[in-house]
Structure 1
């Protein structure tokens, strides 16, 4: 192992996971260098930039572990490859996932290349809860074989969902030292060695929003375009919204003057209409079939991922949600997917990523583009068909 990989650059975020990652690498005898990635530099509404506090924590961790720490600025790259796409998607009525894009374009592209080409790293390491077929320290590395992305020991914290768009080049030379630990075990290690971040809360939500509401944040970048809320069952106008970018499918909409609770059922970018449906579990929200763009397969050499195949696997489109059995048909012409779920799911959302699994292996993901018929319309069709047969 040591002959293959000696110099390892680890992404240090200022949190407990990357701190323990650096510690475990040192303990294994690697030459470890820490890099703090600054991806956002615009202060929040109080004039505070969380990156500054995180860098201070990262510096304390590296001082404690005797690991050199450098900072690299990826603000421009983050804006061009992640944030600009996020804004464009919201303007078009989609709901994006910036964490997946950040991993694809920043951490496992720009950071990886910086570590290898500028810092002379043999490999990189991150504090993600994930595993690969090459092992947590690349002990099973094979330059002639493809690597597969596997779920972590801690299934509740598993982060393969967010890694589902990264490519072979980076993954083959990435270590995930905490992949075989639970979150509680990681915190215990940090406490036992006296790290300042042992009890630091996990970061949640979109990092650059800060403590302000999403509505307030997004309005700084996208001008409001008011439009009507329309009851999808009655066609009645039940309120006014300030723009499609403020809302996502399935989200509750507090509309004054209405006795029943409404939720977002469909957005129409061309007309500016947002259709809403009453009650949380209205069949309008449930879909069993959806369509994606061309999938990104992490290990495309696997024969069952070829065009024209019917892939039997599992799926989720939200991190942490249970995996659902599905059949995915890989189109031969455009290489898009048509996915049929074992059971209908609520609020499958265009713009989000469908992430596919085969047992413990994360196969990759594809962006959801369009939805099939919802259960309300399918039920109507079935009733009509039964009436026709009866006649």
Structure 2
């Protein structure tokens, strides 16, 4: 997939390089290579939404949005409807409740009206999303908003493998050009950038003050609240001790900061959100019946899971979900 049409800061088009790498792998394996562009869809359905959220003082996750709108929507439909594939296989370190061993053991045959993978859908319960074997590389966080119909037609070949073992397999297969690639980091399909410089290419600078949450004094200035994330260290010159972002006022442009990583203002035990996206059920029967459900929660990839209780209540005629009593 080509989803971004730009060069990185070094003047290198990483999309073209990735395309060449994938083509070389396909040649070695003697399988067809297809390329499709979703530059327009990515801009309208992912990136423009990111910009709007940044302007509102929020910090959206582009990888989650990209999986939801591009990979497991547009690309999934292309694979199944245009290419006629039985399912889509991706390199995510994740797992589903559908066992895929039988599918992997199939010998390649000409397409028929009915295949093993499609037959399995007729008798299966909704697919559940599980963590993969490599907990350090687990990517279920980024798959948390993909639709059920796409998950049911997705295979994760790396589900039971670790990254080290995958690298060993790649080396034995002779894919040394892939092994030399860096870990994929940064914004999905855009790459690793200086975030402040990058976002200021698309949003007008709106300078404001860093304000102490303790006494209201001004500690420094910033180029725009949208360049900062709650909890991150604020780069403030002339300060002996580190300060961290606590809150943002999009009306005044003030960004409130607190000293040290253990300041009480940095912690919350209640989070309010709009309706959840349920991968399997909508919503779970337990939550419907009691308006409360115990579960685990994380808001950052690789963050330890935290026990919490979810409560439901109506606000202005709509359901609102609340994670309360986190421990």
Question: How far does residue 316 in structure 1 lie from its aligned partner after superposition?
Answer: 0.6
8 Å CA contact retained: 2:62, 2:188: no
Deviations 1:194-244 (A, max 9, x none): 113134332112255555411111110001011111111101111111111
Which structure has the highest strand share of the two?
A: 1
Deviation at 1:305, TM superposition (A): 4.2
CA distance in structure 2 between the aligned counterparts of 1:75 and 1:307, rounded to whole angstroms:
43
Structure 2: 5+ residue stretches without partners? 104-116
Pairing 1:342–2:326 present: yes
Q: Match of 1:291?
A: 272
State the SS of the aligned residue for 1:225: coil
TM-score when normalising by structure 1: 0.75
| Contact map agreement 1:103 1:162 (CA 8 A) in 2 | yes
Q: Secondary structure at the match of 2:68?
A: helix
Which range moves more in the overlay, 130-139 or 64-73?
Answer: 130-139
Q: Shift in Å at residue 327 of structure 1?
A: 0.5
For 1:245 and 1:163, locate their aligned partners in 2 and report how far apart those are by CA, in whole Å: 25
Partners in 2 of 1:279 and 1:266 — Cα distance? 15
Correspondence for 1:159: 139
Q: CA deviation at 1:328?
A: 0.6
- Deviations 1:219-271, CA, capped at 9 Å, x for gaps: 10001011111111101111111111111111112322333321111001122
* Distance across 1 between alignment mates of 2:101 and 2:319: 34
**Local SS of the residue matching 1:229:** strand
Alpha-carbon shift at residue 308 of structure 1 (Å): 4.7
- What is the rounded CA distance, in whole Å, between the counterparts of 1:150 and 1:90 in structure 2? 30
Q: Which runs of 4+ in 1 moved over 6 A?
A: none
Aligned to 1:150: 130
Aligned with residue 233 of structure 2, among 233, 243, 252: 252
CA separation of 1:137/1:86 partners in 2, compared to 1, >3 Å: closer, same or farther?
farther
Deviation at 1:46, TM superposition (A): 3.3
Asked if residue 54 in structure 1 is aligned to residue 25 in structure 2, the reply is no
Instruction: In structure 1, list runs of 5 or more residues that go unmatched.
Output: 1-36, 344-391
Alpha-carbon contact 1:263-1:279 (below 8 Å) kept: yes
Which residue of the partner structure matches residue 198 of structure 2? 217
Q: Deviations over 1:137-175 (max 9, x none)?
A: 575834352111111111111111111101111111111
Q: Which residue number in structure 1 is paired with residue 152 of structure 2?
A: 172
Structural RMSD (CA) = 1.8
2:217 aligns to what?
Answer: 236
Q: Is the 8 A contact 1:93 1:244 kept in 2?
A: yes
Question: CA separation in 2, counterparts of 1:201 and 1:303?
Answer: 43
Contact 2:211 2:217 in 1 (8 A): yes
Counterparts of 2:30 and 2:4, CA distance in 1: 27
Q: 2: CA distance between counterparts of 1:269 and 1:308?
A: 37
8 Å contact kept, 2:94–2:156: yes
Q: Match of 2:67?
A: 103
Q: Which of residues 175, 180, 184 in structure 2 aligns to 1:195?
A: 175
Give the 3 Å change call, closer, same or farther, for CA 245–138 of structure 1 in structure 2.
Answer: farther
**Corresponding residue for residue 10 of structure 1:** none
- What is the DSSP-based 3-state SS (H/G/I as helix, E as strand, rest coil) of the residue aligned with 2:326? strand
Contact 2:230 2:246 in 1 (8 A): yes
Q: Secondary structure at the match of 2:127?
A: coil
1:61-100 to structure 2, matched below 5 A, reads 61-100=25-64
In the alignment, the residues of structure 1 paired with residue 218 and residue 179 of structure 2 have an alpha-carbon distance, to the nearest angstrom, of 52
Partner of 2:7: 43
Does the 8 Å CA contact 2:63/2:188 hold for their aligned counterparts? no
**Map of 1:323 onto structure 2:** 305
Q: Is the 8 A contact 1:138 1:174 kept in 2?
A: no
